[in-house]
Structure 1
Amino acid sequence: MQKHFLTILLIAISIPVFAQNLGGKVFNQITKASLSGVNIKLEGSTSYAFASDDNGLFLKELSPGRYRIKASRVGYETYTILIELKAGQFLDLQIPLVETINSLSEIEVVSASRRNTSSLKLPFASSVLSRPSQSENIPRSTPESLSIIPGVFVQKTNHGGGSPFIRGLTGNQTLMLVDGIRMNNSTFRYGPNQYLNTVDPFSIDKIEVLRGSGSVQYGSDAMGGVIQVFTKDPGFSKSTNFKGSVSARYGSGNMEKSGSSEFVYSSSKLVFSGVLGLKNFGDLIGGDTTGRQSPSGYSESDASLKLKLKLSERAEISIANQFVQQNDVDVFHKVRLENFKINKMGVQGRNLSYVKFRMLQSSRLLNEINITGSLNNTIEERNNQKNSSFITGFERDKVSSSNLSAEIFSTLSSYWTANSGMEYYSDKINSIRNNTNSQSGALTTLRGLYPNNSSYLNTSLYSLHHLELAGFNAELGLRYNWLKASIFDKDLGDLQVSPGAFVWNTGLNYTLKDHHVYVSLNTGYRAPNIDDMGTLGIVDFRYELPSYALKPEKSYNSELGYKYAFKNLTLGAALYRNKMIDLITRIQTTQIIDGYKVYKKENTEQALIKGVEGFLGWQASKNFSFDMFTSFNHGQNLSKSEPLRRVPPFNGNISMKYKMTRLYVKGELAWADKQGRLAQGDRDDNRIPRNGTPGWKVLNIYSGYSFGKAHLKLSAQNLFNVDYRTHGSGINAVGRSLWMNVQYNL
């Protein structure tokens, strides 16, 4: 791999430097402030996509001809202009953007089609959240930031977790990506997990959520949808430039004391940037009757570094490392409800390193080439001790995931573009477990939760095609996936399993002025992983045995949607139906081990989720705006004639905001109905009340003020001190509290 990479790098360096003939600046039309990270798309004989730098500037070399330029950024209306570039001419553009409420306005999204595409013209449902650490809601963690996105419901098993549900599905039935690289590995478990919490919100530029689609675009696990995190990616600048900022956050009752710093060094050929942070989260204080929930706090350290080199005007390389480590993450409900003196994740973390090479070409067939190589190491350590027991248990799971992928973009005609590629992922699992007797000092070594030294290979080929003609936009895609699991179990023997899956999707959007109607059909799948096949031990409130004779889960999602965006009003709605077959489910056996019921997984069930979601945004005046969304899912286990497990209740969010140049005030009402439709598995889950999770309504107030280079944000949450939890959570949500964030730009 290293030899091939060096060859590619040498070829890229040998590409001649072209003269720059297009440049300009993007800025806020009212304040005249420069806007960084603006997506700029050029459509002509060939298509290009890039972003403005931290000074709002951009430079490009283009062939002479006519181009349509679109500039878009979350929070602003899309700017469109037609230009004609002549030979020997340098064109300097000044692009003013106008702020908008942007519930749906024509921003460019990547995740739905693996390329920059207008959100209005896509036959899929997608949402974008820009820079969560700087948003008005100042969310504590990355999962919690998603609570304001339609169709997403966030469950928290513990304070150090946060598992987003997309249209009723979570865990290994939804896919999470960071900068286009899979977070999901072969040990991701069914049901809620904590992994998205290992992404530092201060390092994020934007989060895209694709609902109801994703297996064709990104592979296994995307049965409910895709959550893709894009980390901050500063652009090159004309001259040498250095910028930085420091941030501090505090939550009342010592619920948070955090600090973060950011720096960017940029020049015409090099960019080096980083985000460093330390966080200390105290015990979460619940509502009026719960109070302090101890133990639930934890500490965290973060580092995100990125280096970009411009090899030529048409080629660049990016090298990045992301490190997050969380310590002593207590599982509150285990200590409170299951007779544990200690039950915590001693360490949970992620260390991702990657190299990305990007090259633009003048060829229609090879318009753009992207090559990525990465290594992602995750770790989870678990410590436990029962009350009145001398035995302390220790478990550690490490997964090393390496990746190599290549993608090409083609402009096949004036109305037909495509991107095709190959992805290869390889997981290596290290899993250990031991018990220590504090009286005798004896150490007993046991089999880990997963078979030690097992491996998992995941290889895919895909091709996505995009057609645009006379108001119609069509999306067509195919993917084939080969998988190979090699499980080495000293007790149960060695095994190799090689499942495969073929999926396709299609969608059609029709635009008539400001109205957009779409229909789509997406097939999805989730291949059985090491967690499905090799788990042996206690998981949540049950004991699991390995299951080797498994095949992929499959889904068939159909959707009908409508989008509208004109001047001060945006709205949208979608009806969807997701039929799932060959679901891998836990089947209870007659055994009891260590007081826990014993389960084994089988492909035994079919299920159906039907739902509706809608949202509306209204810019009532220059300073006042109104937003709302609702989401409803009805999940049914067709095999058992009972409700599907953990389906979120009817929920929504209503907010009103008053904003001036330096000041904003926002009121938010978040709510959820009671969820009384329970599967037997829900009734067996000690995190869910006997008669279901009660409904709740919570009022929050957010405000902020900017003075010079300093920015102050205040958040007053749960003003009426309601005692509540989101359905399926193991800990109650925060009670009445005050949060403060201060940022100073150097």
Structure 2
Amino acid sequence: VLLVVDGVRMNNAIYRSGHLQNVITIDHAALERTEVLFGPGSVIYGSDAMGGVMHFYTKSPELAKADTTLVSSINGAIRYSSANKEQSTHFGFQVGFKKLGLLTSLTHHDFGDTRMGKVRSSRYPDYGKSMYYAGLTENGTDTMISNEDQNLQLNTGYRQVNLLQKVYYKANQKLDFELNIQYSSSSIIHRFDKLNDLINDTVKYAEWYYGPQTRLFSALTTQIKSNSGMFDNAAIILAYQKIDEDRITRKFMDSLKTVRQEDVGVYSLNLDFNKEIDSTKSFVYGIEAVINEVGSSAYAENVASADRVRATARYPDGGSMQQQYAAYFSYKWNVNRKIIWSAGIRYNQILMNLKFTDTSTYSLPFHEINVNNNALNGSVGLVIRPAENLQFNVVAASGFRSPNVDDMGKVFAKNEYVTVPNASLKPEYIYSGELGIQANMLDQRFIININGFYSYLTNAIVQREYELNGQDSLVYDGELLKIVANTNVGQAEVYGVSGEMELKLLESITFKSSLTYTYGEDKINNVPLSHIPPAFGRTIISHKVNKGKYLMPLELSIYSYYAAWKHVSDYGSASVDNLDEATADGAPAWYTLNFSSSYTLKFSNNDGVELLDFGLQPSKRAVIFQISVENILDQHYKTFSSGVSAPGRNFILSLNAFF
């Protein structure tokens, strides 16, 4: 899946193909909207978009209207949740003049240790319990301590701060600029799932944590309007991102602490144009260039003497560079009121250079890996509306994902396996078809949406057992581990179906439900693919009152999240999906029962409430109170592939104010 924020790709050269936590570096309080595109998005977005695209749009400054000289708004929020003692605060401010707009958003999160649910199946009475943890004696020696509260996941808490600053300048009716700066930083983040590991009834690690993770994002967007024959609107985005990741590990009773540091710099340029030929025909086209520079280093430090020695880096220690260049074109034709046709094509070229200074430690058979991959992808889509209340969507598309630095150059251990580089790894390709049906019935009171897809993959990248110089095991950080590597398998398939429905029972009561099922299989070895979640869904009944001078609105909701079993036989090979974090039979099915309420109090200048007027907009003056209870039944469960149990019964209080 490709992550995009404000038109700039977040995926970089060391993004893992598995389950990423990088979305949390985007400030949700600063989001305007989020768009999710299913299926290959490779025509518009390029490599990494095989499974779909999540595009996050942050808020932008507003300008003063024609009859005013100044417009401004202030918003703030506080939130508390009981399951992890969360304390979150947010402050936002924006001011707009005739041509200049400024927006600031600052959010701080303080999460404590997460308490899991205590209601378990009798078949798995100890599933997920945190039995022991590592501590220090008074003289600084490691010791193993029994957890007095086994439903409390110690060392899961962390802190995070997010900052967004935008400056918007409208030079004239045809030209404007926006400077977009985002910064995210966290405290150290402990790997609870690693600190929980036992070997011969003894904790494996005394320390395993990520150092403060930082993400700096800066982009300058230029918007141009023109009546030329080449384009009507153009967007030019020049961006730079800097990402720092550190991993610190120390085995129990070991005096050496290993520190592995990764620094990534990403430079990108996007040029996007659109042109309307007439009222029924239009096209978009553009080019993209992205350069990733990766630095990776490591050292082992004696915790007693502070002496340091060289250690093996996670990625090539001589540095890595990944370059992506692309051009695309997409055409849309509204044939008539009932048919819309679209087609697109994209050419991609990806270059990589990975340099290994130290090849002796693991006897790597190469000092350098060079990659030059290219692909031509396309898509064709058809929208058919045979009636006002019925729509069919048909899409056929091809996509690809070129292996990145993480896929090709990583040396790192997970569970009983160590991943090594595979210099012969090739891109994976996907050919996908989708069919969607949307129907509105009962005078718009009943809406149903069903989508099905089938994807055929060639050269699919999967993790398999591997040999290096004829050996199937090697010693990594003092431990003999089985070797695995990312390899290409000849054929694989992924297919699934998702459905959602909405029924308006009464004017104020709505019922919604959704369900998704996916299956993937390696057709050569006849084994399941990794990263495939079990069937999951959500059902919600909401009651909304939209009456009164001040009450707008009151909303009450009862809802449930649920997921099916994922049995051991359905897991992919190796350790990608964290089978060791499930039960002996796999990941059990689960469900939660939840309640939420929201009350909005609105203000105006005539309500007798004294408000300083510095261009503040009366229509946006409101206070929103929210009270929620999640996992009311205090069920214990883990979401797919997670090493951390989900929160138990959780009371949430929040207050949002807009002036």
1:299 aligns with 2:159: yes
TM-superposed CA distance for 1:534, in Å, is 1.0
CA displacement, residues 320-375 of structure 1 (integer Å, 9 cap, x when unaligned)? 10111111111111000151111111112211000000011123531111111000
Counterpart in the other structure of 2:342: 475
User: What is the aligned counterpart of 1:221 among 23, 41, 48?
Assistant: 48
User: What is the aligned counterpart of 2:181 among 321, 328, 343?
Assistant: 321
Mapped partners of 1:704, 1:414: distance in 2:
43
Mapped partners of 1:281, 1:595: distance in 2:
36
TM-superposed CA distance for 1:574, in Å, is 1.1
Give the letter aligned to residue 342 of structure 2.
E
CA displacement, residues 5-53 of structure 1 (integer Å, 9 cap, x when unaligned)? xxxxxxxxxxxxxxxxxxxxxxxxxxxxxxxxxxxxxxxxxxxxxxxxx
Mapped partners of 1:212, 1:540: distance in 2:
32
Counterpart in the other structure of 2:351: 484
Of 328-337 and 287-296, more deviation after overlay is shown by 287-296
What does 1:336-735 align with in structure 2 at a 5 Å threshold? 336-337=196-197, 339-452=204-317, 453-470=319-336, 471-490=338-357, 491=359, 492-512=366-386, 513-539=388-414, 542-565=417-440, 567-589=444-466, 590-593=472-475, 594-660=479-545, 661-676=552-567, 677-681=570-574, 685-708=579-602, 709-735=622-648
TM-superposed CA distance for 1:253, in Å, is 4.7
| Secondary structure in structure 1 of the residue aligned to 2:581 | coil
Give the letter aligned to residue 258 of structure 1.
S
| Secondary structure in structure 2 of the residue aligned to 1:734 | coil
Structure 2: 5+ residue runs without aligned partners?
A: 120-128, 130-150, 199-203, 360-365, 467-471, 546-551, 603-621
TM-superposed CA distance for 1:380, in Å, is 1.0
Give the letter aligned to residue 349 of structure 1.
T
TM-superposed CA distance for 1:204, in Å, is 0.8
Give the letter aligned to residue 636 of structure 1.
E
Contact 1:541 1:685 (8 Å CA) reproduced: no
Mapped partners of 2:412, 2:436: distance in 1:
44
Mapped partners of 1:607, 1:268: distance in 2:
56
CA displacement, residues 204-232 of structure 1 (integer Å, 9 cap, x when unaligned)? 11111111130111000111100010001
Give the letter aligned to residue 648 of structure 1.
P
| Secondary structure in structure 2 of the residue aligned to 1:595 | strand
Mapped partners of 1:596, 1:686: distance in 2:
16
Counterpart in the other structure of 2:14: 187
TM-superposed CA distance for 1:308, in Å, is 0.6
Mapped partners of 2:532, 2:372: distance in 1:
31
TM-score normalised to structure 1 length: 0.75
Distance 1:706 1:541, change over 3 A: farther
Contact 2:297 2:312 (8 Å CA) reproduced: yes
Mapped partners of 1:253, 1:218: distance in 2:
38
Structure 1: 5+ residue runs without aligned partners?
A: 1-173
Counterpart in the other structure of 2:651: 738
Distance 1:198 1:363, change over 3 A: same
RMSD of aligned alpha carbons: 1.6
Contact 2:579 2:586 (8 Å CA) reproduced: no
Bigger CA radius of gyration: 2
TM-superposed CA distance for 1:539, in Å, is 4.4
Give the letter aligned to residue 171 of structure 2.
L
CA displacement, residues 354-406 of structure 1 (integer Å, 9 cap, x when unaligned)? 00000111235311111110001111111111111111111111110000111
CA displacement, residues 528-549 of structure 1 (integer Å, 9 cap, x when unaligned)? 1111111122246531111222
Counterpart in the other structure of 1:206: 33
Counterpart in the other structure of 2:82: 252
Of 404-413 and 419-428, more deviation after overlay is shown by 404-413
TM-superposed CA distance for 1:493, in Å, is 1.5
Counterpart in the other structure of 2:136: none
Mapped partners of 2:157, 2:499: distance in 1:
36
Give aligned pairs, total.
573
Mapped partners of 2:572, 2:378: distance in 1:
31
Distance 1:541 1:727, change over 3 A: farther
Distance 1:518 1:253, change over 3 A: closer
Mapped partners of 1:503, 1:331: distance in 2:
39
Give the letter aligned to residue 498 of structure 2.
E
Mapped partners of 1:350, 1:242: distance in 2:
28
Distance 1:711 1:414, change over 3 A: closer
Contact 2:164 2:182 (8 Å CA) reproduced: yes
| Secondary structure in structure 1 of the residue aligned to 2:647 | coil
Mapped partners of 1:279, 1:476: distance in 2:
44
CA displacement, residues 510-555 of structure 1 (integer Å, 9 cap, x when unaligned)? 0121211121111111001111111122246531111222221101
| Secondary structure in structure 1 of the residue aligned to 2:311 | strand
Mapped partners of 2:430, 2:19: distance in 1:
19
TM-score normalised to structure 2 length: 0.85
Give the letter aligned to residue 418 of structure 2.
Y
| Secondary structure in structure 1 of the residue aligned to 2:510 | strand
Mapped partners of 2:383, 2:33: distance in 1:
25
Mapped partners of 1:619, 1:364: distance in 2:
47
Contact 2:473 2:480 (8 Å CA) reproduced: no
User: What is the aligned counterpart of 2:104 among 270, 274, 277?
Assistant: 274
Mapped partners of 1:461, 1:650: distance in 2:
37
Counterpart in the other structure of 2:194: 334
Mapped partners of 1:375, 1:540: distance in 2:
35
Counterpart in the other structure of 2:609: none
